[in-house]
Amino acid sequence: MKTLFVFCLLSALSFALTGCGESHASVTAPEPVHAATYKAGHGLQLTKTARAFVGLETGEVASRTFAGAAPVTAIPTAALLRTVKGDFVYVANGEWFLRTPVVIGATDASHIEIKDGLYEGDTIVVKGVRGLSLAEIQALNGGVGCADGH
């Protein structure tokens, strides 16, 4: 029994003294680059990959005539984001997209009148609005998005 004890003690000492118990591997994974970044007051910024994934396209707010009335500020129907918290449009400011509340009016098959919240000439998101909304939710609430490569 003493022999077994001495053998185990010598084995443990030789293991510890040779450095076999230490890890010399240096595994430092790079920080993931998130597809979307949110900054209060600025809105959402997407990487080029995320923009392509969402299918993001922008356009300008313009005037349109509804049923023979005077021209009014209008946007394509695809640009409007309707939620339980209200109606919104993503306004582009450089590389940032800010969800902006709007008041809507008359509609037709392709456009919606904007009574308040936008001005003629504003650059807005006209395609990929739903995907941009989901990216914003992901950026605000945390987690990993599909466009983050996971």
Point out which residues pair with 81 in neighbouring strands. 88
Q: What span, in angstroms and rounded, lies between the C-alpha atoms of 105 and 89?
A: 14
Torsion sign across C-alpha atoms 55, 59, 62, 68: negative
Q: What span, in angstroms and rounded, lies between the C-alpha atoms of 114 and 120?
A: 10
Is the model's pLDDT at 143 over the cut of 90?
Answer: no
Is the model's pLDDT at 149 over the cut of 60?
Answer: no
pLDDT in tens, 13-41: 565 666 555 555 566 666 557 788 888 88
Domain ranges of the chain: 33-143
pLDDT in tens, 46-76: 999 989 998 999 999 999 888 778 889 999 9
C-beta neighbour count of 95 within 10 angstroms: 14
Architecture of domain 33-143: Beta Barrel (2.40)
- Name the band, by pLDDT with cuts 50, 70 and 90, for residue 124: very high
Position 139 scores a pLDDT of 84
